[in-house]
Amino acid sequence: MRIAMAAAECAPFVKTGGLADVMGALPKALAELGHEVMVILPKYTLISAEYEKAFQFKGDLEVPFKGQREAHSIFEYRMNGVQFVFVENDAYYARDQIYSQADDAERFAFFSRAVLAVLEAETEALDVLHVHDWHTAMLPFLLKEDEQYAALRPKTKTVLTIHNLQFQGYYSKETAMEEFELAARYFEEGLIEWRGNFNMLKTGILYADQVTTVSPSYRDEILTESYGENLQTLLQKRAEDLVGILNGVDTVSYNPAADLMIEMPYDQTTMERKAVNKRAVQLRFHLPEQGDIPLLTMVSRLAGQKGIDVLEETLPKLLKTQDVQFVLLGSGEAKYEQFFRQLAEEHPEKIAVHVGFDEELAHLLYAGADIFLMPSHFEPCGLSQLVSMIYGTVPVANKTGGLKDTVVEYDEVLRSGNGFLSDFEEQQSFEDALKRALNMYHHAEHWEIIKRNGMEGDYSWSRSAEEYSRLYEKLSNKQE
């Protein structure tokens, strides 16, 4: 099948979070199944020169936008059997960050038109257009409602993946009419209106042929008032076309046996080498070099979703009652950054903080830590718990979304399970889950079993890609 994907970011070219990881791995896995895959992206000036110098100029393409047709340069790069197409427009993409710009609506409105212009220029028919999150969610609408794209409609089916329902692309009616050139009737008929304004993700949910989320449990959660972000009624109406497919992990990038970013590679047969990575973390952050003290870590955005408020309650008490070490890698809300900095100042022998992001350090923390913390209030999928288990680091997580689908409470009788879980909905605290983990850490035989159980799991994209492939085939064969 011929599949095109459109997204705001994609690893390794430009990344702010999990969306980029998915876009870097899923197309590759689909290509390995024999599909012809194209990924269309903005050509950000943030993309490193290492990649940009390898891009091939493919020509100029006219993009109809806001009543004009302007030529914009198109570049191509092929990697892992995938064709990557980059649309250049320095007025929109020569920025120091991808999101949170005053003209985001205009930037992604242009990109939507550019994606369709790229597809129009293709000589072969497209089977599936797969768009991701609110940034590209208007594409199914434009494809079905704008007559200039009529030639693309007969065969092309659309899929929208919701990576995080919390972010919806919410703008004024005036913005929609100006940037997307939408007729007033679309508001009057309620097709794109939401609470008197314009909602890009809502429009995509309404118009896409198929809607997916990044885990089965998150799919069920967003149908409820608690997790539906005020779109649950619409999602309930589309429940038959809503599927949860669990994300995978790029097991080439994340492989402790061949990872050049860690101190010493290891696998299940050489688990003693993991201790070398633990010592490397302790040395880097000037923590006491003690192998018998549990080392906890967290690699995360510092946002309310991630349960930092839970750690504000849990960590101070833990430090008073347990002999542990904790290293944080992350950035986000200033109040949370300050909390961790203050805690590190008060307990320099136990806590270290690196505000920001460092890919190499992240790998070292996955490899060197004993326990990985994920107290998320909601988590559409989560990749960190999967990566931590690949590296033999035991996750302690809250039972929600993708965490619920991947982390299984350890049963010391059956010797099954790969981590420890809290359940905020059932008043089961994260503190109690962490205490269970720390208690089991001191039972070496059980701890080794938990680590190995985690490492033996299949977290590759091949499983998920096969599910997407079946979905595409079913959708392509579906009659209108």
Which amino acid, one-letter code, is at 24? Answer: G
Q: Give per-residue burial for 213-247: e unless 16+ CB within 10 Å, then b.
A: bbbbbbbbbbbeeebbbebbebbeeeeebbbbbbb
Q: How many CB atoms are located within 10 Å of the residue 67 CB?
A: 6
| Beta bridge partners of residue 409, listed in sequence order | 419
Is the backbone peptide bond immediately before 140 cis, with ω within 30 degrees of 0? no
> Which three-class secondary structure state does DSSP give residue 98?
coil
Helices marked H in 121-184 — which ranges? 139-145, 173-179
349 burial type by CB count under 10 A (0-12 exposed, 13-18 middle, 19+ buried): exposed
| Beta bridge partners of residue 74, listed in sequence order | 59, 87
Handedness of CA 419, 389, 7, 356 (dihedral sign): positive
User: For the chain, what percentages of helix, strand and coil (3-state, to nearest 5) are there?
Assistant: 40, 20, 35
Which amino acid, one-letter code, is at 347? Answer: H
404 in a known ligand binding site = no
Whose tokens are 């009057």? That residue is 188
* 133 conformational bin, left if phi > 0, alpha if psi -120 to 50, beta if neither: left
Which amino acid, one-letter code, is at 209? Answer: D
Q: Is the Cβ–Cβ distance between 92 and 121 less than 8 Å?
A: no
Question: CA 5, CA 24: separation in Å to the nearest integer?
Answer: 11
Question: CA 351, CA 360: separation in Å to the nearest integer?
Answer: 20
> Which three-class secondary structure state does DSSP give residue 241?
helix
User: How, if at all, do strands 193-194 and 210-213 pair?
Assistant: unpaired
Q: Give per-residue burial for 6-33: e unless 16+ CB within 10 Å, then b.
A: bbbbbbbbbbebbbbbbbbbbbbbbbee
Three-state SS letters, 119-139: HHCCCCCCCEEEEECHHHCCH
Query: Order of strands across the sheet with 351-355?
Result: 351-355, 325-332, 295-302, 371-374, 394-398, 420-422
Question: CA 208, CA 138: separation in Å to the nearest integer?
Answer: 9
Annotated binding-site residues for ADP-alpha-D-glucose read 15
Annotated binding-site residues read 15
